[in-house]
A and B are shown apart, each in its own frame.
Chain A
Amino acid sequence: DAGITQSPRYKITETGRQVTLMCHQTWSHSYMFWYRQDLGHGLRLIYYSAAADITDKGEVPDGYVVSRSKTENFPLTLESATRSQTSVYFCASSLSREPEQFFGPGTRLTVL
Chain B
Amino acid sequence: GNSVTQMEGPVTLSEEAFLTINCTYTATGYPSLFWYVQYPGEGLQLLLKATKADDKGSNKGFEATYRKETTSFHLEKGSVQVSDSAVYFCALYSGAGSYQLTFGKGTKLSVIP
Interchain Cβ contacts under 8 Å between A and B, 30 examples: A31-B99, A33-B100, A40-B105, A42-B103, A42-B105, A43-B89, A43-B103, A48-B100, A50-B98, A50-B99, A58-B100, A90-B43, A90-B44, A92-B43, A94-B99, A97-B99, A98-B99, A99-B34, A99-B99, A99-B101, A100-B34, A100-B49, A101-B46, A103-B43, A103-B44, A104-B43, A105-B42, A105-B43, A106-B42, A106-B43
Task: Type the 1/0 row for B69-113, where 1 means its CB is closer than 8 Å to any CB of A.
Answer: 000000000000000000001000100001111011110000000
Residues of the A chain whose Cβ atoms lie less than 8 Å from the Cβ of B34:
99-100
Q: Mark B25-46, 1 if CB is under 8 A from A, else 0.
A: 0000000101010000111111
Counted as pairs of residues, one from A and one from B, with CB atoms less than 8 Å apart, the total is 50
User: Cβ of B106: which chain A residues have Cβ within 8 Å of it?
Assistant: 42-43
> Would you give the shortest CB distance from A34 to chain B, in whole angstroms?
12
Q: How far is it, in angstroms, between the C-alpha of A42 and the C-alpha of B89 when the chains are bound? A: 8
A41 near B101: Cβ-Cβ < 8 Å: no
User: Taking each of A41, A43, A58, A99, which has the highest tally of chain B beta carbons within 10 Å of its own beta carbon?
Assistant: A99
Assembled-state Cα–Cα distance A97/B45 (Å): 19
Most chain A beta-carbon contacts within 10 A, residue among B45, B93, B99, B105: B99
Other than the given A97-B99, A101-B46, A103-B36, 7 more pairs (CB < 8 A) read A48-B98, A48-B100, A99-B34, A99-B101, A100-B46, A103-B43, A106-B43
CA distance A48 to B102 in the complex (A): 13
Closest to A42 in B: B105
**Which of B32, B42, B43, B104 has a CB less than 8 Å from the CB of A99?**
B32
